[in-house]
Amino acid sequence: MRFTHLNIRDLILITPKVWGDNRGYFMETFREDLFRKYCWNINFIQENESRSSYGVLRGLHYQLPPFAQSKLIRVVEGTVLDVAVDLREGSPTFGQHAAVELSAENRCQLFIPQGFAHGFLVTSRMAIVQYKVDNYYSAEHDCGVAFDDKDLGIDWKLLPKDIVLSEKDKCQPLFRNAVYFKREDF
């Protein structure tokens, strides 16, 4: 596995080593020893999966402490544009974002620590996304940021008319009105 820091240092793209032959392929998708060495000492407690059609945008979501979540995201079918926004007040990259393509073909994973909003847009006909988290869902700590906030400057690569949102995501606050993570939270 190769661990690459993105433009926001705490975001890490993980590229697996894939062994293939005429039978198919094999790869390790998670190794605790390498994860602790190159990322964080984390205890993932739940794995989730979503299936979405072309143009579906899920996000930008996050949870506040004490239910903040780190995520390890991968795509098992299709392709998504995966985005993380730094919401950690005092961070040198506060308000900045990173965007990567995750796909079944490239088999890359994205590690997002606590303190970030996360979202993804399906750019293939359909996509299945799996992600591990280190904390359980809590509706009362659930927050979001508007995906199309001009202050964030995210290029989602699709026209707004082609983006499909949940009712919840249509009403997310602008970045300047969002609840941020305090320095003591991270």
Catalytic residues, which ones? 61, 131
Q: Which of 149, 94, 148 is nearest to 116 (CA)?
A: 94
Whole-number Å distance between alpha carbons of 184 and 177: 20
Q: Which of 88, 80, 151 is nearest to 116 (CA)?
A: 88
* H helical segments located in 39-130: none
| H or E element at residue 169 | helix 167-170
Whole-number Å distance between alpha carbons of 39 and 73: 14
Cβ contact 97:52 at 8 Å: no
